[in-house]
Amino acid sequence: MQIVINPNRSEWNDILMRPTQTVDDIEGTVNGIFEDVSQNGDAAIAKYTNKFDGVALESNIATINEIEESLQLVPEKLKNAIKQAKANIEAFHKAQKTSKVSVETTGGVDCWQEKRPIQKVGLYIPGGTAPLFSTVLMLAVPAQIAGCSDIVLCSPPNKEGKLAPEILFAAQLCGVTKIIKVGGIQAIAGLTFGTKSIPKVYKIFGPGNQYVTVAKQIATKYGVAIDMPAGPSELLVMADDTANAAYVASDLLSQAEHGTDSQVILVSTSKRLIYDVYKEVEKQLEVLPRKAIAEKAIANSKLIYVEDDATALEMIDEYGPEHYIICCKNEDLYVDNINNAGSVFIGDYTPESAGDYASGTNHTLPTNGFSKAYSGVNLDSFMKQMTFQKISKEGLLNIGETIELMAEAEGLQAHKNAVSIRLKDLK
């Protein structure tokens, strides 16, 4: 990891740059696959599954037998862990339900807002070097609570043409209605256009690599909504000299092992802590099974010393981390004054891993600085807010002239007439 001491503000952009390719580097590939899938459907899907995942499938739909087999393959202790995590995620997301908002804006004019589920949603579950069955919980649980009728899950198959049994177990536990063995750009394209085997959906959810992230953004050009741009994982830790260096290093490595394009950053007001963390990272890295992956992510990462809290806060907000851990004596200062972060973890005993798995909050979060404008996935992500209004005779008499005057001023005579014809009958 690179150690940076008191960087000048003019250097911040370069220091905080993510190790990702630009959209321009990837967009050509994505557009080509999208065009192929839109024209050739499942044939194109099969071609790219063979090319990128190295397997030729007779069918890309997970069968009942495969799902039932997964129930036998997942150890009982892990099943219970998944069920406990599901219960916590359910509790947190059920608490996000809100009642109808209703108000009489003026006499006889009733306006209200209600929520309706998005009927057809697609959930993308990364496979690759680590099948993220926890993401099934994070997406399918709120989709089920929201009342989505079609919950379609896509995940890349392994070389044997199968999905991880943990993914299948979690999917059936959470009410997924269809499981498709397809990943990458082709999965997003299939959910966008629809094929014989892959239903077209209204909104696509889920994290992925840079290609999946760009594919989701391009899907919006074809009228499909997405949860957010969620690419390679990232973590920023803010720690002072009261922090435990071993804990901080373990948190940094927990994100670094996600992928070679992940990034982790430590911002600290303590030089001693920075050097202690540096040593701990090297020590803990040596025994990690995913050392080769974590090493490459660590090479993209920084340990940054700043002199005071105000500078630290400004830098953290500028970065806008996906995950933000606070291990400071004055934790309230860093909690109360952060504006840009996907999810915040407070104190020595709140590892980011808790949010990834079982505390209850959602781990599908905006990356690459998008936390400046996007929220993480929540119950409302799976719902639409619809407004309603009902106006009585009294109500139209109260606001009719206002509507007429405004419509006339905008030169929209038919708008005015729609009111005038009614007022004429009421007077």
Residue 258 counted as an annotated binding residue: yes
CA separation for the pair 52, 211 (Å, rounded): 12
The 109-117 sheet, strands edge to edge: 101-106, 109-117, 383-391
* Per annotation, catalytic residue among 166, 234, 280, 322: 322
* Per annotation, catalytic residue among 166, 234, 323, 352: 323
Residue 323 counted as an annotated binding residue: yes
CA separation for the pair 419, 407 (Å, rounded): 10
Residue 410 counted as an annotated binding residue: yes
The answer to whether the beta carbons of residues 125 and 207 sit under 8 Å apart is no
Within 10 A of 273 (CB to CB), how many other CB atoms are there? 22
- CA distances from residue 63 to 60, 267, 326 in whole angstroms, order as listed: 9, 48, 45
Select from 246, 244, 321, 232 the least CA-distant residue to 285. Answer: 246
The 150-155 sheet, strands edge to edge: 178-181, 150-155, 120-124, 203-205, 225-226
Residue 209 counted as an annotated binding residue: yes
Exposure class string for 45-79: b at 16+ Cβ within 10 A, else e: bbbbbeebbebebeebebeeebbeebeeebeeeee
Select from 45, 64, 61 the least CA-distant residue to 53. Answer: 45
The answer to whether the beta carbons of residues 285 and 294 sit under 8 Å apart is yes
Residue 13 counted as an annotated binding residue: no
Residue 255 counted as an annotated binding residue: yes
- CA distances from residue 167 to 178, 357, 377 in whole angstroms, order as listed: 13, 14, 19
Burial of 223 (0-12, 13-18, 19+ CB in 10 A): exposed
CA separation for the pair 234, 252 (Å, rounded): 9
Helix-strand-coil percent breakdown of the chain, rounded to 5?
A: 50, 15, 35
Residue 48 counted as an annotated binding residue: no
Q: Where are the beta strands (DSSP E) in 251-322?
A: 263-268, 302-305
The answer to whether the beta carbons of residues 92 and 361 sit under 8 Å apart is yes
Active site residue 322: yes
Active site residue 93: no
Select from 185, 220, 183, 198 the least CA-distant residue to 152. Answer: 198
Beta-ladder partners of 237? 266, 325
Tokens of 365: 């979060």
The binding site consists of 124, 186, 209, 233, 255, 258, 323, 356, 410, 415
Which residues does the annotation place in the binding site for substrate?
233, 255, 258, 323, 356, 410, 415
Which residues are catalytic, by number?
Answer: 322-323
Residues in the annotated binding site for Zn(2+): 255, 258, 356, 415
Q: Residue positions in the annotated binding site for NAD(+)? A: 124, 186, 209
